[in-house]
């Protein structure tokens, strides 16, 4: 009986355009990212004895995370501020990354876009933050 209800609910959601679950997947990815950041910041970068050891590259500044873009000349690594997680364009890239590469990525997140596109997005984001700081 529960299986029939779940199927009916699923078909209703498909009709309403809610079948992709893309937003839920991105939220799940963001929660995982937040947990990692909280573990690192909350314990002065010392993992607790009950958690597994998490290593972060030394160049990743507090409040940032690493992403990798696969370019023709090879992978290119970017450090992205956590504030980009509020940016709709960046969230769209994360959703595409989840669809293409899945959620089991460890370390830097691989994003399917051109490096120049991500550079432009990050530059616009930085300008918006600077304008907000002036206000």
Residue 66 CB neighbour total at 10 angstroms: 15
User: Is pLDDT above 90 for 39?
Assistant: no
Higher pLDDT, residue 24 or 16: 24
Per-residue exposure over 20-41, b if at least 16 CB sit within 10 Å of its own CB, e if not: eebeebbeebeeeeeeebebbe
Tokens at 25, concatenated: 């997947």
Question: How many structural domains comprise the chain?
Answer: 1
Half-sphere CA count of 22, side-chain side, radius 13 A: 13
DSSP code of 118? H
pLDDT in tens, 103-114: 777 778 898 889
pTM of the model: 0.56
Per-residue pLDDT band for 37 (boundaries 50, 70, 90) equals low
User: In the block, which residue shows the tokens 């970068």?
Assistant: 45
Domain residue limits at 20: 2-134
């Amino acid at each position: 009986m529960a299986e029939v209800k779940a199927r009916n609910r699923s078909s209703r959601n498909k009709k309403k355009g809610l079948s992709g679950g893309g937003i839920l997947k991105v939220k799940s990815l963001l929660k995982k990212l937040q947990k990692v950041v909280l573990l690192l910041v909350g314990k002065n970068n010392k993992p607790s004895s009950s958690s597994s050891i998490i290593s972060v590259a030394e160049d990743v500044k507090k409040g940032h995370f690493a992403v990798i873009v696969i370019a023709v000349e090879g992978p290119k690594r970017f450090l992205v501020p956590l504030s980009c997680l509020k940016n709709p364009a960046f969230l769209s890239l994360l959703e595409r990354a989840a669809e293409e590469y899945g959620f089991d990525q460890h370390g830097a997140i691989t994003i399917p876009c051109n490096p120049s596109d991500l550079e432009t997005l990050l530059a616009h984001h930085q300008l918006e933050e600077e304008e907000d700081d002036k206000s």
